[in-house]
Amino acid sequence: MVENQNINLSHVAFAILGLVAEQPSHGKDLNKKIEDRGMRNWTAIGKSSIYGVLQTLKKKGLVDSWLEEEDNRLVKVYKITDKGSTILKSQTYRILKEYYGRDDEDFYVAFSQLPLLSLEEQKEAFTSSIKKMKVHIKELKDMIVPNMPINVRGLFIHPIKIMETDIAFLEDMLSEIRKEEK
């Protein structure tokens, strides 16, 4: 449903663009949001990286900026562009649709931006991920052979258990989405 875009944002750029999409902000505001939400616990955003990322997003035409006076000083405020919104939505949809149970910081960022997608796009993305994980679980189970040492077998069992949990989580989310539709 979401059109495919050629720009693939880095993890930090993806997270920062998502925050700017919420409302026009300057770097200090973004740092505060990141701290308040505990995002440094589940993203790789450094305090000083924000300003460089904002400049890169501006060069790519994904954000615009202007100067405003705040507390007797000028601050640069950033706002997402239409192109930025399209890229953000496209990457959010792609990541949610392709997720298959690995520890993925981008999944957490994409999930935090779920409201960008329509309920139908949310259902499509989660359904696709569930199908991919079920196929991957079967592939991993088929690779386990009799008398395989526990240390090797565990390398298959661990991701299977994680994916089973992720499937249950995504099925719960699908149930919540269906409730919203009614």
What does the pLDDT look like over 69-116, one tens digit per residue? 988 899 999 999 999 999 999 999 999 998 877 778 889 899 999 999
> Domain 11-92, what fold?
Arc Repressor Mutant, subunit A (1.10.10)
Which sequence spans correspond to the domains of the chain?
11-92, 118-181
Q: Is the pLDDT of residue 38 over 90?
A: no
The confidence score (pLDDT) of residue 99 equals 84
pTM: 0.80
H/E stretch holding 33 reads helix 27-36
Cα four-point dihedral sign 100, 101, 104, 108? positive
Do residues 9 and 91 touch, judged by C-beta distance below 8 A?
A: yes
What token pair was written down for 27?
């770097």
Distances from the Cα of 180 to the Cαs of 119, 166, 173, in angstroms?
8, 21, 11
Q: Is the pLDDT of residue 1 over 80?
A: no
Q: Is the pLDDT of residue 169 over 70?
A: yes
Under the phi-then-psi rule, with left for phi > 0, alpha for psi from -120 to 50, and beta for the rest, what region is 101?
Answer: left
